[in-house]
Amino acid sequence: MTERSEAYEGGRVAPGAQPQEPRPEQPPRWSAHQPQHAQQSSPQSSEQAPRFSQAHGPSESQSSRPSESAVARQAGPPGQATAAPWFAPPPGRQGPSGVPPQRTTRLPGYPTERPDFEPPPPWARPAARNGVHRAEPGFPQSPADPVGREGVRGRLPRRNVLIVVGVVLVLLAATLGATAGVLATLRWGPALITSEPQAPDDNLGSKGSAFPRPESVANVAKALLPSVVQISVTAAQGRATGSGFVLRDDGYILTNNHVVASAAGGNGIKVTTNDGQEATATVVGRSPAYDLAVIRVKGVRNLKPVALGDSDKVRVGEPVVALGSPLGLAGTVTSGIVSARNRPVTAGGGQSEMSFINALQTDAAINPGNSGGPLVNLRAQVIGVNSAIATISQRSPFSGNEEQGSIGLGFSIPIDQARRTADQIIRTGHAVYPVVGAVVDVNHQGPGARLGEIQPNSAAARAGLQKGDVVKVINGHRVTGADDLIVQIRSHVPGQRVELVYDRGGDEHKVIVTLGQETG
């Protein structure tokens, strides 16, 4: 993600500008409520402009510089940076709620090397036109598939998606094509489970609470950073970075599928630990359905598994910490809260298949490169896997559409789902997900989700569901559209029984469906 492209150098006066005399009767605003002695800056501090206000290049002549007192007045008190002015977004297409349309972007990693890419210097503000917001930075997008998809039946074709909510949200830099679109409503709605999920592998993560209650971001960072790794992926199209975290001390690491998908068939994955060790990783298995993957390294010393929490017990408003390598900056720590739970989020297109996530929402700053990194509570327990963010697309006269960085809308895969999927991959090399065996009609204007073709001998067929039935409720959750139905089904496990309320010819019916399964 990128910051605003407008540069502002606080405390800097254009060469040749005439310094102005101070106004004794109107002290500077920053001096208000200060003790009288605090308003007098030391000679040494008043002679130094803030570091970010110093111009690069040859020094100017003494005659062309403003007086040091004028620079100090404009820069504010010593040690205080002058805030950059707020720039209103340029005019352009507005969202339904009167704000620029939001763009939800999966975080595959920050592109660090490709034939047409030159990485910006550390102090630069990378622009969106460099591609850091795209689903696969530097990688060509796959063309959209024809209209129609097998939503709840099984594997989904790759396609760009249309996401329609109060404001427009797009995952994975999707093309806004109405006919190839999928309705995804980011709304409340926990799925009610009617049977216990399969028990996860006790070997994943550390057992119990491996760390004392840190109760501070600093202590969480100290406890978790040794378990977080940077993942560099090299493919024919270029190189990108993402994040991951250690599940077991024998080298198993969890990350996002879209981080490693481009190198899944080879050995172009390098892992760098927090203490600087480097090793080549291999892909153990991937789950495009949940955007998760497990990789493994060998020969790395002192790997420290994370402690896994319980995402079902996460509360809205609970403090959280995100760790990873945003924009390739390893060991970055940001903090925020859990903004919401059970946000249906879809992601797909490009190099990856469609994913459906019943996500945790957070305002902790998450950017490209954070993908696959952990979202952690203040007990140093991982509660989610960072996967996607929402951004605001703006029209630039210089480079077309540009996107900002984090706007406080990040989405993480709940760790309960991630733990089940990782356990399946480690034990069998692949993962499974639940299905009912019916095509969803994406052109249906809700509420509810209208079923298309019913797969023979599927869970839907055995339950007596028919083409044209409109599913309105699943386990007490009111279905708002096609994607909402799929997300709610994916939040269960194969073999579970769910209650569906559906409409057929104006009459309402109830049925119990035992979920089937697909691999992916």
Burial degree of 6 (CB within 10 A; 0-12, 13-18, 19+): exposed
- How far apart CA 351 and CA 234 sit, in angstroms, is 14
Peptide bond connecting 111 to the previous residue in cis, omega within 30 degrees of 0: no
Residue 399, both tokens: 């480079």
Supply 163's token pair: 């996401």
Point out which residues pair with 292 in neighbouring strands.
287
Nearest Cα to Cα of residue 380 among 144, 175, 221, 159 = 221
Question: CA dihedral in degrees (333, 336, 341, 344; nearest 10)?
Answer: -60
DSSP code of residue 100: P
Query: Which H helix or E strand runs over 459?
Result: helix 459-462
Active site residues: 258, 291, 371
DSSP-derived 3-state class of residue 81 = coil
Neighbours of 88 (CB within 10 A): 6
Q: Any alpha helices (H) in 236-376, and if so which ranges?
A: 257-260
- Which among 213, 228, 491 is positioned nearest to 377, based on CA atoms? 213
